[in-house]
């Protein structure tokens, strides 16, 4: 039997994708249990995954059955070594993880990290959704994934990149829930039985925005719905947790460290808000807490989580077509660059461990006038802004080349065939411009409620508040009065 998948050293799994439906089965299965490392497009010959403790914990939280997964791996590979990496190394991780996350959704503490979503991650999320039998229709996707689509080429491009037919996926019907007071109460009780919070912020940011909108429509307020479900609003608001003692805080932090979870303040705040608040009550600073559990704050707060994380990040950048030379990392990814000296003696050592040649990667791109124009046109096709501020923040090499070869941003934009006035970051606001931008958000499948716009486009939010008496008035003027709220 030919091997569709092959497990190599260090948790590397290679999928040969020239075997039809069975290779699709292997791809979707591995997307549930391993991190995607390398994938070019549907015409690629191989897809490479890495199985590690974090990915196994994610699979366990999704509720993937371990025995079924191992049986499928053995079947798809033809013959696996008896000491299978998943079986031997990560059994304890699988057994300790608590099932409670909805299948097909990345953990919110992961997906809300900066730069988490890229084409590779989005492709893998599509494979995971298909593996769990969920639609890829843009309106059915989780909020964090919807927000990432337009930054990475748009929904149609990314669906095709993942190997699916956009036209077919767009026609798949999204499951519609006929909301009523009894359905809302049952759903809230179900969430509580699963151990999930039901406060407003959690519902809005964890894929239950339709439930929250239904609560407002049928009950008028969140508190009224909570009381109708037999719960106490005072206790459910932000969980209203009992604060932990100093010893309990230290114990929980040690437990997180033993389970290889991040102990950085932001990660703790997003995943365990009660622990975060309790820690601030008992310790004057976060480094003081880290000293109390025997951890060097310099290593934890200013370095990446592990050596493997840094290598995987460099491999993802390379797979996405970005340079990985030291200057580019320092300019565009300063946090990643700052982490390198903590785990590697030199940049060259990191590049070699990631599987690349330092001499090749050190070579600087030879900029020309034509190269500048080409890069600006590529950014525009991908739907990214090309205003001067955006380029100086996210594409420092392009901004420097523009200054060198065109003596100004306007000259470069005109040479690329665009109008500088339309590409500027400064917008001349009016009611018509606001309505056009809100409609554009809706067409891209992004939410148009106040909370989302406030988080992702503060300039647009401020303009709405200046030109309209309320958010509902703006939505009514846009013809989207039933699509969002304050």
Question: E strand or H helix at 61, and its extent?
Answer: helix 53-62
pLDDT of 331 higher than 70: no
Span 13-25, average pLDDT: 78
**CA-to-CA distance for 233 and 415, rounded, in angstroms?**
59
CB 365 within 8 A of CB 396: no
Collect all residues with Cβ–Cβ distance below 8 Å to 101 and sequence separation of at least 6: 61, 62, 63, 107
- Which tens digit of pLDDT belongs to each residue from 184-215? 999 888 888 776 778 887 777 666 777 888 89
Secondary structure element (H or E) that encloses residue 243, with its range: none
Beta strands at 35-38 and 5-7: parallel, antiparallel or unpaired: unpaired
Confidence of residue 89 (pLDDT cuts 50, 70, 90): very low
* SS3 track for 63-94: CCCHHHHHHHHHHHHCCCCCCCHHHHHCHHHH
Lowest mean pLDDT across 129-133, 145-149, 175-179? 175-179
Comparing 11 with 375, which gets the higher pLDDT?
375
Other C-beta atoms lying within 10 Å of the C-beta of residue 191: 18
Mean pLDDT of 301-323: 73
Q: What is the pTM of this model?
A: 0.43
Partnered with residue 16 across adjacent β-strands are 46
CA 441/CA 421 separation, integer angstroms: 21
What confidence tens digit (pLDDT) does each residue in 72-84 have? 877 777 665 544 5
Of the ranges 1-5, 159-163, 197-201, 220-224, which one carries the lowest mean pLDDT score?
Answer: 1-5
Q: To which H or E segment does residue 7 belong? A: strand 5-7
Please say whether the beta carbons of 61 and 51 come within 8 A. no
Any idea where the domains of the chain sit in the sequence? 5-171, 181-239, 246-302, 307-362, 369-423, 431-478
- Measured at the CA of 189, the angle between CA 455 and CA 98, to 5 degrees, comes to 75
What is the overall mean pLDDT for the chain? 78
- The position carrying tokens 């007071």 is 181
Two structure tokens written together for 215: 């609560």
């Amino acid at each position: 039997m030919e091997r569709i998948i092959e497990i190599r050293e260090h948790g590397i799994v290679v999928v040969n994708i020239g075997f039809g439906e069975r290779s699709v089965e292997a791809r979707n299965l591995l997307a549930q249990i391993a991190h995607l490392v390398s994938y070019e497009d549907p015409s690629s010959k191989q897809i490479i995954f890495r199985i590690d403790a974090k990915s196994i914990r994610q699979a366990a939280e999704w509720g993937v059955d371990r025995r079924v997964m191992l049986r499928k791996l053995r079947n798809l590979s033809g013959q696996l070594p008896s000491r299978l990496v998943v079986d031997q190394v990560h059994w304890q991780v699988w057994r300790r993880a608590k099932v409670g996350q909805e299948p097909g959704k990345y953990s919110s503490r992961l997906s809300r990290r900066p730069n988490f979503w890229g084409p590779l991650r989005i492709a893998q999320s599509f494979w995971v959704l298909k593996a769990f039998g969920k639609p890829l229709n843009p309106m059915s996707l989780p909020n964090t994934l919807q927000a990432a689509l337009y930054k990475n080429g748009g929904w149609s491009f990314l669906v095709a990149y993942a190997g699916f037919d956009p036209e077919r996926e767009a026609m798949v019907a999204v499951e519609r829930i006929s909301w009523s007071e009894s359905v809302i109460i049952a759903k809230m009780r179900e969430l509580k039985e699963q151990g999930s919070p039901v406060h407003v912020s959690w519902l809005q940011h964890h894929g239950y925005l339709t439930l929250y909108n239904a609560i407002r429509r049928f009950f008028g307020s969140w508190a009224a719905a909570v009381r109708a479900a037999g719960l106490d609003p005072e206790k459910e608001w932000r969980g209203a947790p009992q604060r932990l003692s100093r010893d309990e805080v230290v114990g929980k932090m040690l437990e997180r460290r033993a389970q290889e979870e991040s102990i950085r303040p932001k990660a703790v705040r997003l995943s365990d808000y009660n622990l975060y608040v309790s820690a601030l009550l008992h310790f004057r600073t976060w480094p003081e807490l880290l000293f109390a559990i025997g951890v060097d704050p310099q290593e934890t707060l200013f370095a990446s989580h592990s050596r493997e994380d840094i290598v995987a990040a460099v491999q993802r950048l390379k797979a996405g077509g970005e340079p990985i030379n030291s200057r580019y990392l320092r300019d565009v990814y300063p946090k990643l660059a700052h982490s390198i000296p903590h785990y590697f003696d030199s940049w060259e050592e990191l590049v070699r461990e990631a599987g690349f040649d330092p001499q090749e990667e050190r070579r600087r791109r030879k900029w020309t006038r034509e190269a500048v124009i080409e890069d600006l046109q590529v950014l525009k096709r991908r739907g990214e802004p090309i205003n001067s501020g955006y380029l100086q923040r996210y594409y420092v090499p392009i901004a420097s080349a523009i200054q060198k070869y065109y003596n100004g941003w306007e000259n470069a934009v005109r040479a690329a065939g665009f109008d500088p006035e339309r590409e500027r970051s400064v917008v001349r606001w009016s009611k018509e411009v606001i309505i056009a931008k809100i409609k554009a958000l809706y067409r891209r499948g992004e939410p148009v409620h106040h909370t989302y716009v406030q988080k992702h486009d503060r300039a647009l939010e401020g303009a709405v508040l200046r030109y309209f008496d309320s958010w509902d008035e703006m939505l009514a003027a846009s013809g989207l009065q039933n699509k969002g709220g304050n």
